[in-house]
Amino acid sequence: MMRFDILSIFPEMFESFFGCSLLKKARDRGLIRIEAHNIRDGATDRHRMTDDYPYGGGAGMVMKVEPIARVLEAIDAVPGECLRVLLTPQGETFSQAIAGELAQSSRVVLICGHYEGVDERVRQNLVDREISIGDYVLTGGEAAAMVVVDAVARLIPGVLGNEESARHESFAKGLLESPQYTRPEEFRGWKVPDVLLSGHHREIEDWRRRESLKRTLERRPDLLATAALTEKDRTFLEDLKKEP
């Protein structure tokens, strides 16, 4: 059982996201546990303030260190027993490789920062790692927490219906997926490629591999540098590059 704890000033945001689909199933089956905690519960002042004006002046508010520290203590998120992650645009960019690393931990604690900023002492003393989900700006780390939990949870054995799907798929193999089709064979004159209806498994496999390579070369040539390629793959790619 892997456990995720999320610290946020908007814990309600997570109810519907984690209450649906595969993640709900995984929770119901006891494969994962997800708890959202309100940072406000760690505030001690009369107004239960979670942010305050920046020392030295300037625009925007800064998230206070104490409420975060107190919630971490209340949930026993102690170093060594869990991985504490601050979600912030300043973190390292999230990737499938990082998802794999987090999936090795039995407990991941995600702290949702807000763009205006978090007191530097949170970074310095209360977290093990800082993660961003990409080069764009969100209003807060909540959507990022959903992305991270989703990507990590699906790597846990049993969470996906089909154990194979996680491995076989695009980023796991380092290539983009080949085109997929389902019924009907023809819709408004738009046909499914004949090879997929042929029943020749070897030919289908070869076609998929070639389509996958073609698509990766067109859309994400950067991925080819690290993908596991056979000699046959390389020859095919070289021929593709020669084409007009």
Nearer residue to ligand 6GU within complex by CB, 42 or 140: 140
Q: Is 216 in the site for ligand 6GU (CB under 6 A)?
A: no
The residue (of 111 and 237) whose beta carbon lies closer to ligand 6GU is 111
Q: Which of 134, 179, 193, 221 touches ligand 6GU by CB under 6 A?
A: 134
Q: Which is nearer to ligand 6GU, 82 or 138 (CB)?
A: 138
Q: Which of residues 11, 42, 67, 140 is near ligand 6GU by CB under 6 A?
A: 140
Q: Which of 132, 178, 212, 216 binds ligand 6GU (CB under 6 A)?
A: 132
Q: CB within 8 A of 90, min separation 6: which ones? A: 130, 132
CB of 132 to ligand 6GU, least distance (A): 4
Contacting residue, 34, 39, 138, 175, with ligand 6GU by CB under 6 A: 138
Query: What is the residue type of 220?
Result: R
Least separation, in Å, of the C-beta of 45 and ligand 6GU?
Answer: 25
3-state SS track over the chain: CEEEEEEECCCCHHHHHHCCHHHHHHHHCCCEEEEEEEHHHHCCCCCCCCEECCCCCCCCCEECHHHHHHHHHHCCCCECCEEEEEEEEEEEECCHHHHHHHCCCCEEEEEECECCCECHHHHHHHCCEEEECCCCCCCECHHHHHHHHHHHHCCCCCCCCCHHHHHHCHHHHCCCCCCCCCCCCEECCEECCHHHHCCCHHHHHHHHHHHHHHHHHHHCHHHHHCCCCCHHHHHHHHHHHHCC
The residues in 29-88 that bind ligand 6GU, with binding defined as CB under 6 A, are 87-88
Minimum CB separation of residue 58 from ligand 6GU in Å reads 18
Q: Does 136 bind ligand 6GU (CB under 6 A)?
A: yes
Residue placing its CB nearer to ligand 6GU in the complex, 134 or 221 = 134
Size of the site for ligand 6GU (CB under 6 A): 13
Interacting residues toward ligand 6GU by CB under 6 A = 87-89, 115, 132-134, 136-138, 140-141, 144
